[in-house]
Structures are given as structure tokens and as C-alpha cells.
Structure 1
Amino acid sequence: MNKNPRSGIAVTAPRPYRRAVQNPTSPVKAPKQERSRQSFEKALDATVTLLAERRSDAFTLAEVAQLAGVSTGSIYGRVESKSDLIRAAHLRETDRLLGVQRAAFEDGGDDVPDSLESAVTRTVRVTAELLRTEAPVLSPFMRIGSDDPVIYQQARPAYDDMHHRFTSGLLARAEAIAHADPVRAVEWAYRVVYSVLARFLGLGSAPEAAGDGDWEQILADLSDMVTAYLARPAAG
């Protein structure tokens, strides 16, 4: 547990950044030479591209090989199945996403927002724009993860990191939060904001469920709602 330097409130920090370790249940064989490593990176790129285009894993290894400009044999030389290839691509994307999130949330340096409203507005927008930018890749992986426990577990570090950065962003102005339990209040705020954004962006749901509403208005409404909730003392 770490303490917010301004409020003294303890918050749970994410695990230290490190490159994700390949899950032992879906091993990727080590490359025998640099050319093999480069070919596999192209296959991973192609896998992510096809996932984003089709919003599912409805493609074959032959299609991956064709798009990547590599042989199917070179792919099978590293993994045993399409599922293992998708898991390897997801592991790499999760590692990339951790870096993207860190850069986005830390863009303001150590500057503390001058009000609770500004802290909420900035935190909601950073979270929203991250999810919107990454939605084409996140959406198919989230749907696959609902049936694949390996994908599900690999995704936890990025989700936990976003959760920590969101709640820490609001607790930067904890002295302005009137709720009797600031930590519980910002936890609730995260769940609501994430749920609304995930539905709008079609994360983990059918594409036809996405896009209902105006993006900027949704962000404004979420910011107003969270600010009002945090600034109002809890009833009773």
C-alpha cells in the first residue's frame, strides 16, 4: 500500500512494471536465429491486425501467414496452434498497453489539479481517450478472454494499472472529497465510468451495442456526475 502524498490516504499500487512472462500453458518456442524472431513479430502484427479488422478470431493461420508475408511453417515453428499465437499477441499488446497508459496518465508530471472538478475531468478524459484509441484491439481480445482463462489472466495487469491510475488521479484532491469514505467513492466512480465507456465502445459486447450517444457529451456527463457524487456528503 502507498499513501497519496497530499491526502495521506492509502491506495493500492499496481505491480512493478516488467515484461510479461509467457504463460507456461501456451509456450512460445525460443527462436533459433534472428530471422525467426523477425518472422514471428510479423506474424504477431498480422494477428493483431486481423483481430482488429474482424473483431474476432475468425481467421486462419494461413491468413495470418499471408498477411505477414511468412510461411505457416515458420509460425508452427514457434507455436502449436492459433490459440497460442493469439495468446502471444495478446501478451505483447498488454505489455505495450501498460507503457501507453503510463505515458498518458503521467503526461502532466507531478502537477496536482487545482480542484476536484479539474482532477475528475482530466482523469475521465485520459481514461476515455485511452479506451477509445485502443478499442479496436481491446474489443476482440476481451471477447476471446471471456472464454479463454489465459487471455483473461494476461489482461489483469493492464486493467489493474488503469484502475490504480484512475483512482489515484481522483484521490490527488482527496481533501475536497466530501464522501465519508473517499476510497470507496472513487472505486465506485471507476466502475461506473469504465462500464459506460466500455458499452459505448463495444468492449466485450456485440458491435451493435456500441456508439449510442455523443462522445463529448458522455464525457461531460460522466465528469459532472462523478464530481457531484464525490463533492456531496454521503447520506446518513
Structure 2
Amino acid sequence: MRILDRADAPSAPSERYVRPPQQERSRQSMERILDAGAGLLADGGWSTFTVEGVSRQAGVATASIYQRFGSKEGLFGAIHDRHLIDFAHAVDDAFDLAVLPSAPPADGVREVITRLGELFETHGELGGVCMLNSHRVPEHGAYGAYVMAAVKDAVVAALLHYLPEDAGVRRSLGREDRAAICYRMAHSTYADYATFHRAPEQRREVGWDTLRREVAAACSAYLLSAPL
């Protein structure tokens, strides 16, 4: 079942305070606002994210933005929620067990970790800004925690899809625990890179392709190498 279709899936907090558009023109205007805000956040972080800047980028009056979202924080909360929804849908599509390719264990593990890296390359910069500023909208925290826990479950299930049943034999940790550790290693590496790779003091020479390849190889070695 898809992440946001589960019985325990909470509603996005912004649904409680953002007035939904009723007409197509209003829906298009709202999407322009959210797109403009997401772009400013991803490009420059919180300091460049202003209602006035979003207004200029989206071609929508400042008063209309305040009327719909209430405040800068309310607009950020709506962007935060939309990012999580988009990320959840992308994870559902990438790690659907029914469509994962048939492959030997090592190739399968690398495929899963590579796909996770591709998602972070696409969604990670905005996700990093949302994570760093989530304290500004604390009521959205539980929603983010639910989505990211479900993302972990989906990736771990995909890893287990390729991991042999006897892969945990003679190890102190079983298959599920080691798949979860593998996810955490990949997630933390990709999230850190997506969040900070533009910062001059942390600029990396390595690109996304190299990073994905190295992380995928490390995870495959960890999961499938002989017990220590």
C-alpha cells in the first residue's frame, strides 16, 4: 500500500489552515506560489525566502498570499507538506516490489541504494532546507516523522527483497537490522550532501554520480560480505 494511503497516515497539517482553491485559476495561482516559494528555499534557504519575493516570482499579490496562508511560516508549512507528499509518492514509485528489476543480490542492493540517491538528488535540497527549518512549524513535525519512517520501511523492504535469507547467519544482527543500518548510512550521507554541498566551506569535488556509486558499493559490501 502506498505511504499516504495507509490507515494510520495522518493528514498534512497545512490542510487545516490553508483555504483550498475552488476554481482552476485559483489552483494554478496556488501552485505558482508553492513553486516559487520552494525555489527560493532550495536556492537560498530561509534568509532569501520572503512573502514579497514569492509574490514577485509567482506574479501573485502579497495580500493574496497572506490571505491564503496567513503568514510566512504558514506558507513554509504548506511547502514543507507538499515536499513530503511529493517525496512519499516518488518513494512509492521507486521501491514498489512488483516493479523492481530481477537481479543478483549485490546488483539489487546497489540498485536500491542508487535509486535512493537519485531521489535525494531530485528532492534533497528542498528537503534539507525543510529539515533545517522545521522548528519554525513544530506542528508539522509529526507528519514529517511519519513520512520519513514510512520511507525507511519502503527502502528496507526493497533491500530485503534482494538480500538472501541466510545473509544474517553467524552475524550478531539479523537481515532486518542490517538492512535498517544500511538505510541509515545511505540516508544520512545523501541527506548531508543534498543539504550542504553548495556551502563554500563544505563544497565537495565529488558529484552525485560518484557519490551514489560509492555509497551503493559500500552498502552492498556491508550487507553481503563474509561475517566479521
TM-score by length of structure 1 reads 0.78
Amino acid at match of 1:196: T
Matched residues in 1 for 2:127 and 2:26: separation? 27
Detail structure 1 runs of 4+ shifted over 6 Å in the superposition.
none
2:124 maps to what in 1?
Answer: 135
1:85 maps to what in 2?
Answer: 75
Counterpart contact for 1:138–1:203, Cα < 8 Å: no
Aligned length: 223
SS across alignment from 2:5: coil
Matched residues in 2 for 1:45 and 1:203: separation? 21
**Which blocks of at least 5 consecutive residues in structure 1 are unaligned?**
3-12
Q: CA deviation at 1:47?
A: 1.0
How large is the Cα RMSD of the aligned pairs? 3.2
1:144 maps to what in 2?
Answer: 133
Q: Within 5 A, what are the aligned runs for 1:1-236?
A: 14=3, 16=5, 21-23=11-13, 27-31=17-21, 34-106=24-96, 109-111=98-100, 113-175=102-164, 177-179=166-168, 180=171, 181-202=174-195, 208-209=201-202, 211=204, 213-232=206-225, 234-235=227-228
Counterpart contact for 1:178–1:231, Cα < 8 Å: yes
Q: CA deviation at 1:129?
A: 0.8
Matched residues in 2 for 1:200 and 1:152: separation? 22
Matched residues in 2 for 1:96 and 1:25: separation? 15
1:150–1:69 distance in 2 versus 1, CA, 3 Å: same
SS across alignment from 2:117: helix
Counterpart contact for 2:36–2:58, Cα < 8 Å: yes
Matched residues in 2 for 1:78 and 1:209: separation? 38
1:8 maps to what in 2?
Answer: none
Amino acid at match of 1:89: I
Counterpart contact for 2:159–2:179, Cα < 8 Å: yes
Bigger mean CA offset, 159-168 vs 79-88 = 159-168
Matched residues in 2 for 1:111 and 1:157: separation? 24
Matched residues in 2 for 1:161 and 1:39: separation? 31
1:23–1:15 distance in 2 versus 1, CA, 3 Å: closer
Q: CA deviation at 1:136?
A: 2.6
Amino acid at match of 2:103: D
Q: Deviations over 1:94-127 (max 9, x none)?
A: 2122222222223x84456332101111011000
Percent identity of paired positions between Structure 1 and Structure 2 = 25
Q: CA deviation at 1:56?
A: 2.5
1:34–1:116 distance in 2 versus 1, CA, 3 Å: closer
Bigger mean CA offset, 114-123 vs 195-204 = 195-204
Matched residues in 2 for 1:100 and 1:92: separation? 12
Bigger mean CA offset, 152-161 vs 192-201 = 152-161
1:155–1:176 distance in 2 versus 1, CA, 3 Å: same
Matched residues in 1 for 2:156 and 2:226: separation? 18
Amino acid at match of 1:131: F
Matched residues in 2 for 1:220 and 1:32: separation? 46
